[in-house]
Amino acid sequence: MLNYQELINEAKKQGFSDFEITEYGSEIIEIQVYQGKVNEHTESKIKKVSLRAIYQNKMANLSIENLDANIDFVLNQLKENALILSTNEEYEIYEGSSSYPKVKVKENDFNQISIQDKIKLLIELETKLKQKDPRIIHVPSLDYEEVSTTHRIINSKNLDIEKQGKYCAVAIQIVAKEDEDVQSGYEVEVKERFDELDFDLMMDKITTRVLSMLKAKPVASKTYPVIIENEAMADLFSTFLSIFSGETKIKQITPLLNKENQKVMSDKITIIDDPMKEDCIFKDPFDDEGVACFKKEIVSKGVFKTFLHNLKTAKYFHTISTGNGFRTGGGIGVCGANTYISYGTKTKEEMISSLEEGLLITEFDGLHAGVNAISGDFSLKSSGYYIKQGKIVRPVTLIVVAGNFLDMMNDVDEVASDLKITLSRVGSPSILFHGLSVSGM
């Protein structure tokens, strides 16, 4: 196996000005149940290494899975990768922050429940799902995953930091049919401990949602007051996160260009990026460049406060990294981590009861195809429920909701208390908007 210190020392001898090693380790158990039997059961241990090195003022990247690779071979490959580059950008290997937040990791109980007991619980859940209602005709997938990860950064500036993560997840998909109408749904639950998984609650949530959408139909085309439910709002919000990135500021393709400290949204909207948020499964004491992560307000009561930065964008704008340099593809981009719209005080049910007529949107379809993050415009196939005199009357589908993200975020009537942060680490409560254009019948 590669000796990391020997690799760094030899790199210095061969003319590399700085060198960084990022080691990723994971242990994964996956179980898939189908029709009362184990369809798949795999266990894997993976370790891989990503290298970043500065050679002749160029930053080279290399990923290796063969940890017994020859040091000279690795360094020669990095040199070749560096010399191909024609950019004149300044690059930096980070020396480390003065301190890092500490992650509280829950004591793990994965090994206290045998694989056979986990399989038994999954098969029982599948049986209960099928027996819940005669309209449930199929359970296409029922998956369990158990993951333990390590992430370590070592570099030539004597930085050596590590973080760990552990979680388990259950994913359920069901199909329901009434007459000729077919609806399907998907539910995922992620927890830090196995005993925190509530199978019965998951079953109730997915069956209620899917069965309630049977016999859905469009509504008349017009402008409606619209409540976008928390998970759907988080999904929509996630497609516009790039407007807060220092990368889009460099390229001048963000509608927030030159709008720092200006009011850009309703004063009911505060947007926070908190990589260490206590009640989130995934936490980051440092980003993929080794910069300490911290909580920051991106938008404060409607006022745009800051772009998110990695080392590169921070250097470009003569500011400091916000600890948002994370790997995207082959390089390190700017990404949020537990980025969410802050919650209000009203419940979703109170917002529903306040509407004489309106819509509750629970799902968007084709998010990336129907969104233009540069202009802020969106036009999306949607589904949910029609509200009349403060009550949900019937399910709605085959409608298109259209608008502009910043215009919409300036047209907020109420923000609910039901904040939900999704697996993509983006979150939102349900939000009531004064009026959105809806195309239906």
- Percent with pLDDT over 70 in the chain: 99
Measured CA to CA, the distance from residue 210 to residue 205 in angstroms comes to 9
Tokens for 80?
A: 């070749």
Q: Which residue has the tokens 């964008």?
A: 313
Mean predicted confidence (pLDDT) in 332-359: 96
Q: If pLDDT is split at 50, 70 and 90, which confidence band does 326 have? A: very high
For residue 396, pLDDT over 90 is answered with: yes
436 contacts 224 by C-beta, under 8 angstroms: yes
For residue 441, pLDDT over 70 is answered with: no
The pLDDT of residue 85: 86
Assign domain 110-150+160-212 to its CATH superfamily: PmbA/TldD superfamily (3.30.2290.10)
364 contacts 181 by C-beta, under 8 angstroms: no
The model's pLDDT over 159-206, given as tens digits with 9 standing for 90+, comes to 999 999 999 999 999 999 999 999 999 999 999 999 999 999 999 999
The model's pLDDT over 217-237, given as tens digits with 9 standing for 90+, comes to 999 999 999 999 999 999 999
364 contacts 381 by C-beta, under 8 angstroms: yes
Sorted by where each begins, the domain ranges of the chain are 110-150+160-212, 222-238+343-439, 242-341
322 contacts 273 by C-beta, under 8 angstroms: yes
Starting at the earlier edge strand, list the strands of the sheet with 339-341.
Answer: 303-304, 296-300, 271-273, 339-341, 426-428, 420-421
Tokens for 327?
A: 């790997």
Mean predicted confidence (pLDDT) in 150-160: 96
The model's pLDDT over 74-88, given as tens digits with 9 standing for 90+, comes to 999 999 999 998 877
The pLDDT of residue 181: 94
The model's pLDDT over 87-132, given as tens digits with 9 standing for 90+, comes to 778 789 999 999 999 988 778 899 899 999 999 999 999 999 999 9
378 contacts 366 by C-beta, under 8 angstroms: no
For residue 270, pLDDT over 70 is answered with: yes
Measured CA to CA, the distance from residue 283 to residue 2 in angstroms comes to 28
The pLDDT of residue 282: 93
The model's pLDDT over 198-222, given as tens digits with 9 standing for 90+, comes to 999 999 999 999 999 999 999 999 9
The pLDDT of residue 346: 95
Measured CA to CA, the distance from residue 114 to residue 122 in angstroms comes to 13
For residue 242, pLDDT over 70 is answered with: yes
What is the rounded average pLDDT for all residues in the chain? 95
For residue 329, pLDDT over 80 is answered with: no
Q: What is the reported pTM? A: 0.94
For residue 40, pLDDT over 80 is answered with: yes
